Amino acid sequence: MTMFKDTILYKRLQAISRIEESTAWMWTFLTDRNLKADIISLIQKNQLEDKGVDEDGEVIGYYSALTEQISKGKKQQGEHFTLNDSGEFFKSFYITVLKDSFVVNADYAKMQDQDWWSENILGLTDESIEVVKTRIKEGFINYLLQLD
């Protein structure tokens, strides 16, 4: 048994037994400097701009003929909402990391009185969650590899 205690494997197992999940979680967000931006991009690009959907995969809404006229064709009738008209809403996105989760928020004051508005617009679809899970899993693995 004494020989085993001198191995790298034994030292790693000892280090792993002392870690807390919340430490690995926070370390992942601190060291993967693009993780927050990539999560926001999943919502803005993949969900809103490309598909116009909320976290449930439901289309937020479609532009009307009147909107097409008002926008001088910039927004075509029947196309889905992107919520990126002036860019202000997208610029206001931010993520708060908690000890075992994160919260996506943005300044949606101008939209919250619209009948189509829902805070689900700020959430991740199942597809996006899988992408984030993979990144966090990689972060946990990197955290474990750096332990002594």
**Confidence at 148, pLDDT banded by 50, 70, 90:** low
Within 10 angstroms of residue 53's Cβ, the number of other Cβ atoms is 20
Mention every residue, 6+ apart, whose C-beta is less than 8 A from residue 39: 95, 102, 104, 124, 128, 132
Q: Please give the average per-residue pLDDT across 15-34, as a whole number.
A: 87
pLDDT tens profile 105-138: 999 999 999 999 999 999 999 999 999 999 999 9
Residue at 73 is within a domain: yes
Residue at 127 is within a domain: yes
Give the pLDDT confidence score for residue 5 in this predicted structure.
73
**Confidence at 1, pLDDT banded by 50, 70, 90:** low
Q: Residue 54: is its pLDDT beyond 70?
A: yes
Q: Cα 36 from chain centroid? A: 7
pLDDT winner (highest mean) among 20-24, 29-33, 144-148:
29-33
Q: Please give the average per-residue pLDDT across 96-113, as a whole number.
A: 95
Q: Which domain holds residue 86?
A: 19-145
Give the pLDDT confidence score for residue 13 in this predicted structure.
74
Nearest of 58, 34, 7 to residue 135 by alpha carbon? 34
Tell me the residue length of the chain: 148
Residue at 7 is within a domain: no
Domain count within the chain = 1
pLDDT tens profile 41-51: 999 999 999 99
Q: What's the whole-number average pLDDT of the chain?
A: 91
Residue at 132 is within a domain: yes
Nearest of 37, 42, 29 to residue 129 by alpha carbon? 42
